[in-house]
Amino acid sequence: MGNTAADHGEFASFVHATGTQLYRTALLLTGDHHLAEDLTQTTYAKVFGSWRRVHRAENPVGYARTILLNTFLSHRRLRRSGEQPGRTADVTETLADSADGATSDADPSTRVDLLAALARLSPTDRAVLVARYWEDRSITETAADLGLSETAVRTRSKRALERLRPLVLDLSPEGIM
Amino acid sequence: MNNLSTLMRSRVECEHLDLSALAFESIRRGRRIRRVRYAGAGLATAAVVAGVAMGAAALPGGNSAATELQPATGSTFAGPAAPVSPTLKSMGGPQSAERALDPRGIPLASGESTAATQPVPLVVSSPGWKCGAPADWKMECSGPGGRQVVVTVRAVAGYQEWVTDPDKGAGSRGVTTAPHGDYFATIQGNSKTAQEDLHALADSLHWK
């Protein structure tokens, strides 16, 4: 109605203010630019669907982040059976490329290895690491975001870091809790 | 050696997205989500109304909703429009469902056409807009780009209420025209219709 233009303007401003951060989160979760773009777009479409309620909320960014995580996890659950084998092959290939230095840019030790290594983790483990180390969420907040117990977050985080360590050469021991 | 947080920031710091395109496409997809949601709500409402009507009809001695809405004027009209709209009731018109009313709340004479067939005293003549047949003193009009409005003719007696009550015309949604004789009109649009469109339509109304 009359507020439509204002709604669109406010929403566009919100996307411009938060889009880069959310896209980078999506990239760390999916490990793929196209999937990350699609996940980000789906998240914002859902946010826009409830924009009049969301923009009055105390923390619209937190709302968007929660939608992104839930969309990622539910999408992965739906496609789990059909997608994993291809993903494993892609990761193996990418890691091999990285070892040769064939696809590296400025920092070969992190530019390729990190996304590929993250992709080897289960979606939930990846979401735990992204929430804890990228979003700087506490264990309590991460548990609430992902619907896990705090013990499960600690366990998954520790196990995931241990799996990452041999794959990411630059990952320091203190990266492990 | 770096911790994971540093490595993550280093890995994605150069990653950017076209945020304008992202906003545009998100709005487009978000609108679809809203439409589906509204359609679902509409279907649910219709199902509830239908269920209530069927339940009422099934009660011993109960009449169907359609029967209750039939005007008792002996008119042969059997269309869906109610002779007394909620709008007219709220404007203080007669509450009886026995007689068809015009927007002023005046019962139509026996044999006079009901609201559904009574032509409204105005014409919408805005380029690109097409209006359906008036029903119950309302006209639904469609414009370019999926825009839709409902033009409602109302009795001038309710004008002050409409321009002062924030829940009605004094709110930001919709447009209320100036009085014209015994009538005035309100125009309300769907989510695709901007307030400027409503004002342009209001300016294009020709009163008979």
Q: Per-residue pLDDT averaged across B135-164, rounded? A: 82
Would you state the pLDDT for residue A40?
A: 95
Give me the interface pTM, i.e. the ipTM: 0.76
* Confidence category of residue B92, pLDDT binned at 50, 70, 90: very low
Q: Which among B1, B26, B189 has CB closest to A48?
A: B26
pTM of the shown model: 0.51
Most A-contacting residue of B17, B172, B195 (CB-CB within 10 A), to test interface: B17
Give the CA radius of gyration of chain A.
Answer: 18
Q: How many residues does chain B have?
A: 208
The DSSP 8-state label assigned to residue B177 in this structure reads P
Write out chain B residues lying below 8 Å of A46, CB-based.
30, 33
- At residue A76, the pLDDT reads 61
Please answer yes or no on whether A1 and B16 come within 8 Å at the CB atom: no
Question: What is the percentage of chain B residues whose pLDDT exceeds 70?
Answer: 65
Spatial separation of the C-alpha atoms in residues B132 and B138, rounded to whole Å? 9
Q: Which of B184, B190, B187 shows the shortest CA–CA distance to B200? A: B187
Question: Using alpha carbons only, what angle is made at residue A150 by residues A164 and A19, rounded to the nearest 5 degrees?
Answer: 65
Subunit contact B22:A15, Cβ cutoff 8 A: yes
Rounded CA-CA distance A12/A5 in Å is 10
Higher pLDDT, B141 or B94: B141
Q: Which pLDDT score is estimated for B170?
A: 58
pLDDT at position B61? 57
For residue B86, the model assigns a pLDDT of 38
Is A44–B26 a contact, with Cβ atoms under 8 angstroms apart?
yes
Measured in whole angstroms, the distance separating CA A165 from the mean position of its chain's CA atoms is: 19
Q: Do B27 and A20 touch (CB under 8 A)?
A: no
A110 contact B CB<8A: yes
pLDDT of residue A102: 36
For residues A44 and A32, what is the distance between their CA atoms, to the nearest angstrom?
A: 18
Min mean pLDDT across A28-37, A79-88, B96-105, B182-191 is at: A79-88
The better pLDDT of the pair A41, B173 is held by A41
CB–CB of B11 and A110 under 8 A?
yes
What pLDDT shows up at residue A172?
66
Q: Which of B2, B22, B33 sits opposite A19 (nearest CB)?
A: B22
Kindly determine whether residue A171 and residue B174, on different chains, have CB atoms separated by under 8 Å. Answer: no
A174 touches chain B (CB under 8 A): yes
What are the φ and ψ backbone dihedral angles of B123, each rounded to 5 degrees? -130, 140
pLDDT at B117: 46
SS3 B131: strand
Of B2, B10, B37, the CB nearest to A172: B2
Instruction: Report the residue of B2, B3, B5, B7 to disrupt the A interface, i.e. the one with the largest count of A CBs within 10 Å.
Output: B7
Counting one residue from chain A and one from chain B, the pairs whose CB atoms sit within 8 A come to 136
The SS3 call for residue B123 is strand
Q: What is the mean pLDDT of each run of 10 residues along chain A (177 residues)?
A: 71 93 94 91 92 84 90 69 40 38 42 79 94 93 90 94 83 56
Q: Longest C-alpha distance within chain B, in Å?
A: 93
